[in-house]
Amino acid sequence: MAWIRTVGVLLLLALGSSIAKVEEEDPEYWRSQARSTLKTRLHHKPNTNVAKNVILFVGDGMSITTITAARILKGQLRNQSGEDSVMTMDTFPNVGMIKTYSVDFQIPDSAATATAYLCGVKTNLNTLGVNAAARNGVCKSQKGNEVTSILKWAKDAKKSVGIVSTTRIQHATPAAAYSHSASRKWYGDADLPASAKRDGCTDISAQLINNTDIDVIIGGGRKYMTPRGTKDPEYPRDFTSRGKRQDGRNIIDEWQRMKMGKVARYVWNRTDFDSVDPETTDYLMALFEPGDLRFEADRDPKMDPSIVETTEKAIRILQKNKNGFFLLVEGGRIDQAHHEGRGFMALHETVAFDYAIGKALELTNEKETLVVVTADHSQPIIFNGYPFRGQSVLGKSPLWAQDFKPYTMLMYGNGPGHKLINGSRPNLKDVDTKTKDFVQYAAVPTESSTHSGEDVAVLARGPMSHLFHGVQEQNYIAHAMAYASCVGEDQSHCSSSVSPTLDGANNLAAATGGAHFSRLLSVLLLMLALFH
Ligand SMILES: *[C@@H]1O[C@H](CO)[C@@H](O)[C@H](O)[C@H]1NC(C)=O
Ligand SMILES: *[C@@H]1O[C@H](CO)[C@@H](O)[C@H](O)[C@H]1NC(C)=O
Ligand SMILES: *[C@@H]1O[C@H](CO)[C@@H](O)[C@H](O)[C@H]1NC(C)=O
Ligand SMILES: *[C@@H]1O[C@H](CO)[C@@H](O)[C@H](O)[C@H]1NC(C)=O
Ligand SMILES: [Zn+2]
């Protein structure tokens, strides 16, 4: 069969070269592009300001493969070839790699990883806001092992704080910012085993309003907030959407009462969300679904805003604080789409996530706002074959496999897409693989894909973003963000005379040891000027 392969490859090369862009055949195209990139980098100066604001964007399960494929898709959705498109996150000047393992597992989950990058301490699988001496699901082991997050450190520093997610707000990533829980699954009190209640543990929803005073809360998860049987306002006839609490508490009402005297809005739909004026609103809680939000491709824009809009609203509300803010934005359903083996959904979620990053850059200033983009862990998606330039990233490789059947460029190591028909894989010849419900082939059958263990990227822009560099442990991210914004325990470099402002002179370099010297120097210079 070797000849078939040879002919195939020759055909591929012939077709490939006819598809290449004409300007790319000119070597000067590549040289001038590289020269311009080089020039930009040579003129790049580290930004050593204090970060007044920090925005952390977490793409849950956003592996590097996901980023590459989503970049191509983002370009193709704009009728470009895609490979050379530039996502917003691609423009960040500083990039590093992050080791994601947890204390007990080589490949981690979102709870252990969120505790690492938000609280600065690696911990065990399934545990939130506790150190590794706490045991998964054991309430008693939680006591005394709590660790706090940068959300709290920022609030303690009199900044405003917020969380935006596309999942339920009690889900692992957002929950690690405000709760301490031996189990990530204790969303509401009905999820706690009797022993955990007896030992004094409280559910994640209760902790949402009882721990750090959070200014902006946007996501899903209404059903964990209301008494059992409470009808959902959007799906009153759906039994599974009804309230789940056994203790009879209505956390939403309690939250509103706690904020009495402030302008605090609770909204659950687009109309009310749009009517929230950031200029006059102190607190916002927006819960758009009983559980997780819908995938971006399935979203009803008349009922729910996009992650771009929720990110914008959060920033506009938080931005009013002259001390600055900390905001966590999670693209939480990239991971969930991957778990279902749905490449289309995962990539569209990632594209929307990147647009949200773009919106954040539009609304903030690079001189005072540190923006960090990362993923918590990887997913077993691969991107393979020899597709032509400009070919749909959701399509099939031009060359068939040895079983004379086509295969998609995107596939999974494991997941629900594994299928054998009469002992061989299904023939995709007449299947449209570009639809939103298509499930990519997986080598090994699992009900849901597992996470995968290779490093993830961290990309950063703004004050002290050069700290996000090299190959680092995941818990380093919390420390670097805290250092950059002068919050948390380590503030030895943050002299009291240095306030986070736009003034280039008030920077961290001056604060670290050089502060006294530079002040002395300016006094001397002034004297010289006066007496000359
Ligand atoms: C892309 O091209 C199609 C077909 O030519 C057109 O209908 C669509 O509006 C274009 N989209 C954009 C974003 O330019
Ligand atoms: C609220 O927090 C306080 C102090 O952390 C704690 O003592 C109390 O049990 C918590 N209450 C609930 C209902 O979670
Ligand atoms: C949105 O929520 C408000 C407050 O509950 C309600 O009055 C309004 O009818 C809702 N809008 C829609 C379109 O459901
Ligand atoms: C499986 O093989 C049998 C016997 O060759 C054939 O009758 C049947 O149609 C095959 N099934 C599929 C789904 O291809
Ligand atoms: Zn996951």
The binding site for Zn(2+) comprises 60, 335, 339, 376-377, 451
Yes or no: say if 390 and 403 are a contact pair by the CB < 8 Å rule.
no
In which element (H, E) is residue 283 found? strand 283-287
Residue 21, pLDDT score = 81
CA distance 51 to 370: 6
> Of 6-10, 108-112, 146-150, which gets the smallest average pLDDT?
6-10
Q: Which of 253, 269, 273 to probe ligand 3 with, by most ligand atoms within 8 A of CB?
A: 269
CA distance 251 to 208: 9
pLDDT tens string 203-216: 999 999 999 999 99
Q: Which of 133, 159, 144 is nearest to 51 (CA)?
A: 159
The confidence band for 14, taking pLDDT boundaries of 50, 70 and 90, is low
Yes or no: say if 434 and 61 are a contact pair by the CB < 8 Å rule.
no
**If you measure from the C-alpha of residue 393 to the centroid of ligand 1, how many angstroms do you get, rounded to a whole number?**
17
Q: Which of 348, 369, 424 is nearest to 73 (CA)?
A: 348
Tell me the C-alpha to C-alpha distance, in Å, between residue 56 and each of 173, 426, 498: 12, 41, 24
Residue nearest to atom 11 of ligand 2 (CA): 210
* Structure tokens given for 75: 């370009």
* Structure tokens given for 330: 């999670």
Tell me the C-alpha to C-alpha distance, in Å, between residue 355 and each of 86, 101, 275: 12, 29, 23
Residue nearest to atom 6 of ligand 3 (CA): 272
The confidence band for 5, taking pLDDT boundaries of 50, 70 and 90, is low
Distinct helix (H) and strand (E) counts, the chain: 17, 13
Residue ranges in 268-367 assigned as alpha helix (H)? 270-274, 307-318, 333-339, 343-363
Ligand 1 within 6 A of CB of 78: yes
Residue 510, pLDDT score = 43
Ligand 1 within 6 A of CB of 422: no
Mean pLDDT of the chain: 92
Mean pLDDT (whole number) for 188-213: 98
Ligand 2 within 6 A of CB of 202: yes
Please give the positions annotated as active site.
110
Ligand 1 within 6 A of CB of 106: no
DSSP bridge partners of 165: 330
Residues with CB under 6 A from ligand 4: 421-422
Q: Which of 419, 422, 425, 428 to probe ligand 4 with, by most ligand atoms within 8 A of CB?
A: 422
Residue nearest to atom 13 of ligand 4 (CA): 421
Residue 144, pLDDT score = 97
Q: Which of 352, 288, 315 is nearest to 62 (CA)?
A: 352
Residue 461, pLDDT score = 98
- Phi, psi at 150, each rounded to 5°: -65, -20
Q: Which of 126, 55, 139 is nearest to 92 (CA)?
A: 55
- Phi, psi at 7, each rounded to 5°: -60, -45
SS3 408: strand
**If you measure from the C-alpha of residue 325 to the centroid of ligand 2, how many angstroms do you get, rounded to a whole number?**
25
The binding site for Mg(2+) comprises 60, 171, 173, 330
DSSP string, 302-329: TT---HHHHHHHHHHHHTT-TT-EEEEE
Given a cut of 80, is residue 529 above it in pLDDT? no
**If you measure from the C-alpha of residue 331 to the centroid of ligand 1, how many angstroms do you get, rounded to a whole number?**
27
Given a cut of 80, is residue 50 above it in pLDDT? yes
CA distance 303 to 209: 25
β-strand pairing of 94-99 with 456-461 = antiparallel
Closest ligand to the CA of 179: 2
Residue 84, pLDDT score = 97
The confidence band for 185, taking pLDDT boundaries of 50, 70 and 90, is very high
Q: Which of 73, 76, 79 to probe ligand 1 with, by most ligand atoms within 8 A of CB?
A: 79
CA distance 284 to 311: 12
Q: Which residue has the tokens 């789409």?
A: 337
Residue 531, pLDDT score = 44
Ligand 2 within 6 A of CB of 204: no
Given a cut of 60, is residue 248 above it in pLDDT? yes
**If you measure from the C-alpha of residue 209 to the centroid of ligand 2, how many angstroms do you get, rounded to a whole number?**
10
Q: How many CB atoms lie within 10 A of CB 355?
A: 18
* Structure tokens given for 355: 């647009």
Ligand 2 within 6 A of CB of 210: yes
Given a cut of 90, is residue 48 above it in pLDDT? yes
Closest ligand to the CA of 80: 1
SS3 breakdown of the chain: % helix, strand, coil, rounded to 5? Answer: 35, 15, 50
**If you measure from the C-alpha of residue 46 to the centroid of ligand 3, how many angstroms do you get, rounded to a whole number?**
48
The binding site comprises 60, 171, 173, 330, 335, 339, 376-377, 451
Mean pLDDT (whole number) for 80-93: 97
Tell me the C-alpha to C-alpha distance, in Å, between residue 329 and each of 83, 273, 285, 472: 26, 17, 15, 22
The confidence band for 7, taking pLDDT boundaries of 50, 70 and 90, is low
Amino acid, res. 38 = L
* Structure tokens given for 30: 């590549």
**Ligand 2 atom at minimal distance to the Cα of residue 210:** 1
Ligand 1 within 6 A of CB of 496: no
Q: Which of 142, 179, 192, 202 to probe ligand 2 with, by most ligand atoms within 8 A of CB?
A: 202
pLDDT tens string 268-283: 999 999 999 999 999 9
Residue 495, pLDDT score = 75
Residue nearest to atom 6 of ligand 2 (CA): 210
**If you measure from the C-alpha of residue 419 to the centroid of ligand 4, how many angstroms do you get, rounded to a whole number?**
14
Q: Which of 166, 479, 161, 461 is nearest to 328 (CA)?
A: 161
Q: How many CB atoms lie within 10 A of CB 364?
A: 21
**Ligand 1 atom at minimal distance to the Cα of residue 79:** 1
Residue nearest to atom 11 of ligand 4 (CA): 422
The residues near 314 (Cβ < 8 Å, ≥ 6 apart) are 162, 164, 216, 218, 284, 327, 329
Residue 3, pLDDT score = 57
CA distance 196 to 194: 5
Given a cut of 90, is residue 46 above it in pLDDT? yes
Q: Which residue has the tokens 């990233």?
A: 393
Q: Which of 62, 128, 56 is nearest to 452 (CA)?
A: 62
User: CA torsion angle for 217, 220, 222, 223 (degrees, to 10)?
Assistant: -140
Residue 524, pLDDT score = 52
**If you measure from the C-alpha of residue 177 to the centroid of ligand 2, how many angstroms do you get, rounded to a whole number?**
16
Mean pLDDT (whole number) for 479-484: 98
pLDDT tens string 343-392: 999 999 999 999 999 999 999 999 999 999 999 999 999 999 999 999 99
Q: Which of 473, 468, 512 is nearest to 46 (CA)?
A: 468
Given a cut of 90, is residue 223 above it in pLDDT? yes
